[in-house]
Structure 1
Amino acid sequence: MVYCGKPSKGCQACRDRKTRCDRATPSCSQCIRAHRDCPGYRNEVDLMFRNESEAVIGKAKAREKSKAIAKSRSQSPIIAGPSGTKKPPLSPNSELRELASTVEPDGGFFVETLAPKFSMFPTTEERALGFFSTNSNTWFRNCDVTDELGSQNSTDEHLLASMSAVGLASFSHSIHAPELMVRARREYVSALQLTNAALRSPTAAKKDSTLFSVMILSIFETVTGNSERSLAAWAEHVNGSAALVKLRGKDQFKTTAGIKMFLQVTSNMMLSCIQRTTAMPEHFIELRKEAEKYVDPDTNPAWGLAQNIFDFTSFRAAVKESKIVGPRAVVAAGLEIDRRFVESFERLPKEWQYKVVYTDDTPDLVWNGNYHVYTQNYMAHIWNGMRVCRIMLHETIRDQLLSASTAITPIFTAFEMAAQNASSLNAMLQMRADILASVPHHTPFSAFGSKPVSLLEGSRAYFVIWPLYLCGAMDVTTKPIRDWVIARLRAIGEAVGIRQAFVVADLLTQQRVIEEWQIKPNPARPEPQHAMASSTEARFEDEEMEE
């Protein structure tokens, strides 16, 4: 296999015309403007290596033949050895190894790099690691961290085991080989054991590879879990990475990889806190102040937007813990945070703005005849994060208005209640419509057809599962919208292979509340307690029986 360099990621139409392709889904912007069907994007893994075995063998044979033609005119397919003896035909791989050690008549040797002494055909484990590395940009905003930490020459074994587990799960879905999922789960158990061993070492626990391994283990839970328990397992891994961030302290900002991983863990922790109605841990707030010295807000708008989400999680936790009491106080605090959300996103630079595409085609894939196209995947994720927060803010406000309407002493005037209720309802409906319009962007191009896709290639679809659940579970959601949401969740599970999408779709169908995901901060509701199963192997056996 010869490494051919990084191939072009653009669609065939853009490559033929030598135009820049933005790789948007389900169709790139160039094809949309030209009113033509976008042919889609190639699999980078298949293009990065080319089998040059036959070409190398042919050149070597021609060179030997030209030197031996004066001695023999035999037409038999043989190769001259060092002493001119004849040997029987060899297989291509054996022939190359033989050529590597063959002495030329003038006493020289073939260049050893012509015949590598390793197999030219990658093993399943090597292909699994290739799947993970090539498609890691769908999970991590800074995919160069994967390249930096994932070098097989220097990677710790617990990190390699984590990457292999997720890669095998992806490969299993890609080639429809369920038996590989069994190997993936065994690799996951091994990764857990190796990572736990690293955590017991004061030195290894602070290494970048240990933190990255825990982050990857959370990915495995999201793409393979087929029960509600996997949601708790994901949260445990996120909490574990948060504990490592605290342990690493300020020293983690001394390296570029450390800063990037801190930002990634912060993003995961924000999602966990939103889902579970808890405030961001205090050590994240303190470390964020230290990280400000290394982050330029002007070139990284997401940094400022994250502060609004920090404040939102604190607000929801305060309402739940009755630290903010009284409908008027809760409404005022909620409206202030909502105002800051609106202002922050109005000031975003042009490249952060999305395009709205209108179409009458594929109503089962595009809701209400329009969808959004974003410049980068993570931008769509951040936009939906704001929409989710605003929906939950205005649900809290409407609940407070409903509570105030039953008070003996009026808290709001009739006009105030009617105006605010209408305003909050309009904001919720608009945010819901925007989330539904973002679904095509989160879904890989191939998932729109019948062609299966790599689990990792389509793994960005995971980031829309939580917003979709929220849209389907809203009090104001109609049955047609809920049915459409359930259908899209099942399509994500089928095309991409993210099993948690099936779990969420089933719970929405049954209109059951997901205990792990608390939509409303009910002060009277006790905080559910979760713990990782004492035996991961036993949990996998239970899930396999459920299947």
Structure 2
Amino acid sequence: MVYCGQPSRGCQMCRTRRIKCDETRPTCKQCAKSRRQCPGYKDEFDLMLRNETRATERRAQRANKKALWQLESAAITSSSSTNVKVSPAARSAAKCPFEQALKPAIPIPAEMRASCHFLSNFVLVPQMGSTRGFMAYLIPLIKSEDPDGQLHHAFNACALASLANTTTSSKNSNKPPDPKSGRGQGAVELHEKAFAEYSKALRATNIVLRDPEAYKSDAVLAAILLLAVFENITAQEAGAFAWGTHIGAAIQIAQARGRKQLRTKLGLQIFIAVRTQCIIHTLTTGKAPVMGADWWLQDAVSDPHASAAQRLSLKTSELRAEVTATMATLARTPDNVEIMRILMRRAQSLDKELASWMDNLPDMWHWKTICWQGPLSEGEYSEAEVFPGRVDIYNDFWIASVINVARTTRLYLGSIIVRCAAWICSPVDYRTTPEYAGVSRMCADTISDIIASIPYHLGWHIKRRHLFPNHALSGFACGEDDGAKGLGGYFLTWPLATVVSQDYATDNQRAYVKGRLRFIADGLGIKYGHILSQLQIRLPSMLIHRDGLLAQPFPMAHNFQKILTLATRGHGAGFGPGAAAAAAAAGYKVNPLQQREMMVKEEMEKRRAELIAKAIGPATGTTGESVKHITKDVLSI
């Protein structure tokens, strides 16, 4: 590598004018004096690493032209003395060695190509002080850490696996290519190297974790977070998915590091990264955050708007765990019903706070609708890039992810509200309650908002830059923003998994989301998308069913246990006449549809009793043949 001198730190305008810049921020005084608009300064990372590819090509092309000119001059001189002409074929043959100089003489190692690929797809570096990137802490840590340490091995594992997944030729499969087929052999080798690096990272991390002091370092925590990313990139089966194990370890280490980890810039960045994963982990598993929500927020504010949203998400995690525990232990009494109403009101209050947070975001955080997509034919949704309706864009990938996490939190809050309403009003159908009506509207709108953000995350807007001004607040650590990025798919996996499992999503929305999850797996190399696209759960209806099976909250007043028993014997959603009496005794209002079902069932029971009484009545006037017909009528009811 040739040393090209110390790079200039001046603004772009002063460098173009070839004058000395005083480097005053945010606007240099040279531009202010000349009344020019200062375009700003290059990022520190760009000053350290410069792309010399184009300059090298230009130098090679100049050398090629000069050598060809010398060759032609010599040929012309020779032909003038010997009367021999140089043929076009000879000129072409003479040109080939110089054209080959444009190609790299030494093949670039897979590790280097993989590192550049990972940096250009997953490491988001902020370009303004008001936004936060993603895994930007890796750049200084990798420079300072031992090349044979756990951090380097974890980084290499993620980079090689990501490159292997995007170069795999076998599509529509969450498995690596088969070496026996002869296809995708390069991807097979990359996969083998990736898992070898993953094993080294695990081994080195286990060794460091035995040290009572070394395991608290920034490098160890960053390596564990990378191991969790590796699980998302290479996930093949839900049973072998170890993401939760790595996140649990990261949470424990962050807890052991205490408040002093927030004193450094890198420590704060890594702590916030762990907190973000903690939110996803706790909401997914239904467990309360370790140490409580306040501990995760105290003195750990990088961006006030993002921290406010994360506070509400952590509070939602605590509330969800509390509601689940309460439903599993409380018996149904008037006092306990009031406790459940209080929990429901807390969920409604958190949802209002999240709605208010979205309404009061600054202009920099607001999304913009750039176009509307027309309707699609039946069967096109699973392969469509855009769902019918609006298409939104954002100023930054990180901003979009924070907003989608807030939207996903609202979906979880809606589930909590409906579960509480179902517990309170049972045995009356919870879908007749006003709480369900309000939640269904909110969740339908939230699902539409998340779906409208999908094209932006998956690079659809890159081909249509003329539709919006390009003023991104952050950029990737390497390469150019010229296509779909793996980070966009990585940010989308959890919100899309939540959408596809919602009761309020339509069949077309569900087909579209599953198709986008498959694209994230095949096109962007986040294989976890295949597992999520196969989810067959529905929320909150399945949770409500589970609450009734496990908690059994009706052992006392009004004989609710008997009501559930009657319902499981075939009385269906309308229950039986016993259910009607119990519901009336409890003071619950039954809707007209349920009333009609109850009346029909009562009439059927009355008819059945009359036929049975007739069959077993006095022998006079009742022949064996008539008893047969009566029995047949009873069985048909």
Say whether the fold is shared (TM-score over 0.5).
Answer: yes
Q: Distance in 1 between matches of 2:229 and 2:532?
A: 17
CA distances 1:357-410 after superposition (whole Å, capped 9, x unpaired): 2233695222122121111111111111121121222223223333433359x9
Q: What is the correspondence of 1:447-466 to structure 2 with a 5 Å cutoff?
A: 457-466=485-494
Q: Distance in 1 between matches of 2:396 and 2:158?
A: 23
Aligned to 2:278: 269
CA-CA distance at 1:49 after TM superposition: 3.9
Confirm or deny that 1:336 pairs with 2:349: yes
Confirm or deny that 1:438 pairs with 2:453: yes
CA-CA distance at 1:456 after TM superposition: 9.6
Secondary structure at 1:366's aligned position in 2?
coil
Secondary structure at 1:371's aligned position in 2?
strand
Q: Distance in 1 between matches of 2:491 and 2:123?
A: 13
Confirm or deny that 1:134 pairs with 2:120: yes
Confirm or deny that 1:359 pairs with 2:365: no
Identity of aligned residues (%): 23
Q: Distance in 1 between matches of 2:409 and 2:278?
A: 15
Q: Distance in 2 between matches of 1:521 and 1:204?
A: 47
CA-CA distance at 1:175 after TM superposition: 3.4
Closer/same/farther in 2, CA of residues 286 and 525 from structure 1, 3 Å limit: farther
1:159 to 151, 156, 174: 151
Aligned to 1:199: 209
Secondary structure at 1:433's aligned position in 2?
helix
Q: Distance in 2 between matches of 1:194 and 1:524?
A: 47
Is the 8 Å Cα contact of residues 118 and 159 (structure 2) preserved in structure 1?
A: yes
Q: Distance in 2 between matches of 1:419 and 1:526?
A: 26
Alignment TM-score, normalising by the size of structure 1:
0.67
What amino acid sits opposite 2:279 in the alignment?
Answer: M
Aligned to 2:238: 228
1:349 to 362, 365, 374: 362
Structure 1 spans left out of the alignment, 5+ residues: 7-44, 63-91, 93-118, 528-547
1:247 to 240, 256, 269: 256
Q: Distance in 2 between matches of 1:168 and 1:215?
A: 16
1:307 to 305, 311, 315: 311
Q: Distance in 1 between matches of 2:61 and 2:394?
A: 48
1:419 to 434, 445, 457: 434
Is the 8 Å Cα contact of residues 279 and 317 (structure 1) preserved in structure 2?
A: yes
CA distances 1:515-546 after superposition (whole Å, capped 9, x unpaired): xxx9779557889xxxxxxxxxxxxxxxxxxx
Is the 8 Å Cα contact of residues 2 and 51 (structure 1) preserved in structure 2?
A: no
2:192 to 182, 186, 194: 182
Is the 8 Å Cα contact of residues 206 and 247 (structure 1) preserved in structure 2?
A: yes
Closer/same/farther in 2, CA of residues 495 and 46 from structure 1, 3 Å limit: farther
The structure with more helix, counted as a fraction of residues: 2
Confirm or deny that 1:123 pairs with 2:109: yes
CA distances 1:418-460 after superposition (whole Å, capped 9, x unpaired): 43332111101101111111111221349999xxx99993232
2:531 to 485, 499, 503: 503
What amino acid sits opposite 1:495 in the alignment?
Answer: G
Is the 8 Å Cα contact of residues 308 and 341 (structure 1) preserved in structure 2?
A: yes
Q: Distance in 2 between matches of 1:478 and 1:234?
A: 30
Closer/same/farther in 2, CA of residues 513 and 391 from structure 1, 3 Å limit: closer
Secondary structure at 1:357's aligned position in 2?
strand
Confirm or deny that 1:150 pairs with 2:159: no
What amino acid sits opposite 2:415 in the alignment?
Answer: E
The structure whose Rg is larger is 2
Q: Which has the higher contact order (CA 8 A, sep 6+)?
A: 1
Secondary structure at 1:150's aligned position in 2?
helix
Secondary structure at 2:385's aligned position in 1?
coil
Q: Distance in 2 between matches of 1:184 and 1:303?
A: 35
Secondary structure at 2:137's aligned position in 1?
helix
CA-CA distance at 1:340 after TM superposition: 1.2
Secondary structure at 2:369's aligned position in 1?
strand
What amino acid sits opposite 2:420 in the alignment?
Answer: Q
Closer/same/farther in 2, CA of residues 240 and 454 from structure 1, 3 Å limit: farther
CA-CA distance at 1:196 after TM superposition: 1.2
Confirm or deny that 1:279 pairs with 2:283: no
Closer/same/farther in 2, CA of residues 422 and 475 from structure 1, 3 Å limit: same
Is the 8 Å Cα contact of residues 316 and 521 (structure 1) preserved in structure 2?
A: no
1:238 to 240, 247, 265: 247
CA-CA distance at 1:153 after TM superposition: 7.0
Report the count of equivalent residues. Answer: 419
What amino acid sits opposite 1:123 in the alignment?
Answer: P
Confirm or deny that 1:319 pairs with 2:357: no
Is the 8 Å Cα contact of residues 460 and 484 (structure 2) preserved in structure 1?
A: no
What amino acid sits opposite 2:162 in the alignment?
Answer: S
Secondary structure at 1:341's aligned position in 2?
helix
Closer/same/farther in 2, CA of residues 146 and 213 from structure 1, 3 Å limit: same
Q: Distance in 1 between matches of 2:453 and 2:56?
A: 43
Structure 2 spans left out of the alignment, 5+ residues: 9-48, 67-96, 98-104, 126-131, 169-185, 331-335, 377-383, 465-480, 552-637
Alignment TM-score, normalising by the size of structure 2:
0.58
Aligned to 2:504: 476
Q: Distance in 1 between matches of 2:195 and 2:546?
A: 37
Q: Distance in 2 between matches of 1:407 and 1:136?
A: 49
Q: Distance in 1 between matches of 2:451 and 2:239?
A: 27
Aligned to 2:411: 391
What amino acid sits opposite 1:250 in the alignment?
Answer: R
Is the 8 Å Cα contact of residues 129 and 167 (structure 1) preserved in structure 2?
A: yes
Closer/same/farther in 2, CA of residues 365 and 520 from structure 1, 3 Å limit: farther
Q: Distance in 1 between matches of 2:545 and 2:212?
A: 38
CA distances 1:59-117 after superposition (whole Å, capped 9, x unpaired): 9xx9xxxxxxxxxxxxxxxxxxxxxxxxxxxxx9xxxxxxxxxxxxxxxxxxxxxxxxx
Q: Distance in 1 between matches of 2:545 and 2:320?
A: 6
Aligned to 2:87: none
When structure 1 is superposed on structure 2, of 245-254 and 129-138 the one drifting more is: 129-138
